[in-house]
A and B are shown apart, each in its own frame.
Chain A
Amino acid sequence: MSRFLFPEWTQPLKKYVITPALMLGPVYIVIMAALIKDPETLRVGYMPEQPVPYSHALHAGELGLDCRYCHNVVERSPKAAVPPAATCMNCHQTVHPKSEKLLPVRQAFFENEPLRWTRVHDLPDYVYFNHSAHVTRGIGCESCHGRIDRMVRVSQAKPLTMAWCIDCHRNPEPNLREPVNVTVMGYKPASGEGARVKARLKINPPTDCSTCHR
């Protein structure tokens, strides 16, 4: 009776299958890790179609509207507030009152039926985030939302991962500015401004789990 040994034809397997697999394994891991870190995986650049072709580049950039004109409760509320159609109509009763692009806005206003905007910056439901806590302590809008004043259609500029949140909570200084300047876009803080604000407002961001996961 012949004993079973690995037959001849398995020899090439060692050379052409097992060895390459062992060598390519680490390469595979590196590629996967890179893909996970890829901005596309993290939804950076997510730019959904909106019901109205509203341009932040025009309103906040060219015309210089303050962010808080529309997002009016951002300093007092956890939510920045998406404005009702009434806010739009403050101006658009007289500015381009017949524009076709604004038809959905007028419809929403007169039929009292809110516009269905698509949320771009969508944190998971298990994350508690408070806009007012950040804005009143000198975190600029652009720190999280990027150069909104240059976006024709809003897209996600930052990864919004937990690591990204916690990086700033561990070291907030580079992102701190005088609270009066929070809505300024392209702001260049003066040297030492972050440290001064941190000291004056006693900013010590918590990193406990329960800070965000309540």
Chain B
Amino acid sequence: MATSSDAASEAGAGPGHGPDPRAAFRGITNDVTRVALGTTPKWWYPAFAVSNLMLLCLVVALYHLFTTGIGVWGNNNVQGWAWDITNFVFWIGIGHAGTLISAVLYLFRQEWRTSINRSAEAMTIFAVAAAGIFPIIHTGRPWFAWWLIPHPNDMGMWPQFRSPLMWDVFAISTYATTSILFWYMGMVPDLATLRDKAKERWKQIAYGLLCLGWRGSARQWHRYERAYLILAALSTPLVLSVHSVVSFDFATSQNPGWHTTILPPYFVAGAIFSGFAMVATLLVPLRYLCGLQHIIKESHIEAMCKIMIATGLMVGGAYGIELFTAWYSGNAAEWFTFRNRILGEYSWAYFMMVSCNVLVPQFFWFKKCRTNPWIVVILSILINVGMWFERFVIIATSLARQALPGMWGYFSPTRWDVLTLIGSFGLFFTLFLLFARFLPIIAIAEVKGVLPEAHAGKDHH
């Protein structure tokens, strides 16, 4: 993995950066603020238009859903959960890379994270936003979603605290709150930089309000660093807990294929796997489009690819163990479910999942694949396709063959399922493009902190 010194040597040698250490700092500031304050690049408009069109799909699909009912989806009595929950678990999983990068890698002093943490955190928040839609809309009566929050009421009712669906509410809302705080607080010094760099008065005022009056005094920095460390420590357990709780939705049920203890670690590994794939999908094009190759470097992309190999192997291992346990347990129902997963009506989905999640990341063993941006993007997209299918396979196949033949069925999506899925991507990309246009996409202050120029003369800390 890349170290800080190698991160910086390239930056220092980049075009326009002289030997003066302050020039290196200034270069970072100018390159990042240019993205937010400069003219809108040409690629941004078509990208934003397409994202908006996809977002419109969500609006239309939700309007139809709310005015008609859950029946517009392909869900039925047997397949009570289908794409709705698949999309939910998929998007929540995507978010995990952000927390891992911003919190865990920070605590482990992995300094290469500074180039990607801001955009990964933003991605986390937007993914959680996309995920949050699904549990609310799949109840069919989203206007009662506030019943999920425990509060004294005139019904004399409380949510079922023994239900993992209830734990989900706490896990996801904690996750969203912490991620937003972490992201926003980390952005405050950089927003102040944008304020100082902005030429127009209204931008100065807008960024000035957003940065909460940051002046960059030593006392402010001292408190900032403290708060950052505390938030990192608070977020770290969330990397493990959030997706574990999501997996409990399945693992605590009695349904064969769901009722296994491996589910929490398996889900967490898969979440980080898909999260890094999404970060790579977004950042590999973004570093070219925004001219940030000298900050988000090839070595960083490579490091992400290596994490994908590692987590991909964990996921592959989990598939194997799951299968072995089903056979070794001697439980007929369990073994039937897994054979049905592989050989039954949904086998196409199973093989889609295995090939995308287990075979595809193996290409990252080769440096050529890790350094070619096209290959990285294509493989990352395939991994995300595979991770979506993993959730679909878990949810759909286990429900398709339940204990009684009366509870056997098959799920076919309707156009409203498809539009909702496309729409969730539309929401995600729209938010991300707005972020990439108007906010500091690189943690300017943190990147400067890991430049070798920052360590000149005396030791850092």
Contact = CB atoms under 8 A, between A and B. Distances in A.
Interface of A: 1, 3-6, 33, 36-37, 42, 159, 161-167
The 3 closest A-B pairs by CB, nearest first: A163-B156, A4-B208, A162-B155
A165 B155 CA distance: 9
A132 to B, nearest CB: 24
Contacts of A163: 153-157
Interface SS of B by simple majority:
loop
10 contacts: A3-B208, A4-B195, A4-B201, A36-B154, A159-B154, A161-B156, A162-B154, A162-B156, A163-B154, A163-B156
Nearest to A33: B152
A5 B156 CA distance: 50
A4 B205 contact: yes
A164 B199 CA distance: 63
B243 to A, nearest CB: 31
B285 interface: no
A167 B199 CA distance: 65
Contacts of A162: 154-157
A167 B156 CA distance: 7
Contacts of B213: 5-6
B43 to A, nearest CB: 30
B155 A166 contact: yes
A4 B156 contact: no
A20 B241 CA distance: 37
Given A3-B204, A5-B215, A6-B213, A166 B196 contact: no
Contacts of A166: 155-157
B195 A3 contact: yes
Contacts of A161: 154-156
Residue of A3, A33, A36, A166 most packed against chain B (CB within 10 A): A3
B141 to A, nearest CB: 12
Nearest to A6: B213
Interface string B138-166: 00000000000000111111000000000
B204 A4 contact: yes
Contacts, number: 39
Contacts of B204: 3-4
Interface in B201-234: 201, 204-205, 207-208, 213, 215
A161 B157 CA distance: 11
A42 B215 contact: no
Contacts of A3: 195-196, 204, 208
Interface in B101-143: none
Contacts of B201: 4
A30 to B, nearest CB: 12
Contacts of A164: 156
Contacts of A167: 156
Interface string B177-204: 0000000000000000001100101001
B425 to A, nearest CB: 36
Contacts of B199: 1
Given A3-B204, A4-B201, A5-B215, 9 more contacts: A3-B196, A4-B195, A4-B205, A4-B208, A6-B208, A36-B154, A162-B155, A163-B154, A166-B156
Nearest to B151: A33
Interface string B409-431: 00000000000000000000000
Nearest to B199: A1
A148 B156 CA distance: 26
A81 B195 CA distance: 74
B134 to A, nearest CB: 24
A36 to B, nearest CB: 7
Residue of A1, A4, A36, A166 most packed against chain B (CB within 10 A): A4
A74 B359 CA distance: 72
A159 B152 CA distance: 16
Contacts of B208: 3-6
Contacts of B157: 162-163, 166
Interface in B267-282: none
Contacts of A165: 156
A167 B196 CA distance: 62
A156 to B, nearest CB: 15
A144 to B, nearest CB: 16
A161 B196 CA distance: 58
Contacts of B195: 3-4
Residue of B156, B195, B199, B201 most packed against chain A (CB within 10 A): B156
B160 to A, nearest CB: 12
Contact of A42 (B154, B156, B196, B205): B154
A4 B153 CA distance: 46
Nearest to A36: B154
B137 to A, nearest CB: 21
A164 B208 CA distance: 52
A210 B183 CA distance: 45
A5 B201 CA distance: 12
A15 B204 CA distance: 25
B37 to A, nearest CB: 13
A42 B204 CA distance: 51
Interface in B254-288: none
A37 B205 CA distance: 45
Nearest to A167: B156
Contacts of B152: 33
Contacts of B205: 4
A36 B154 CA distance: 9
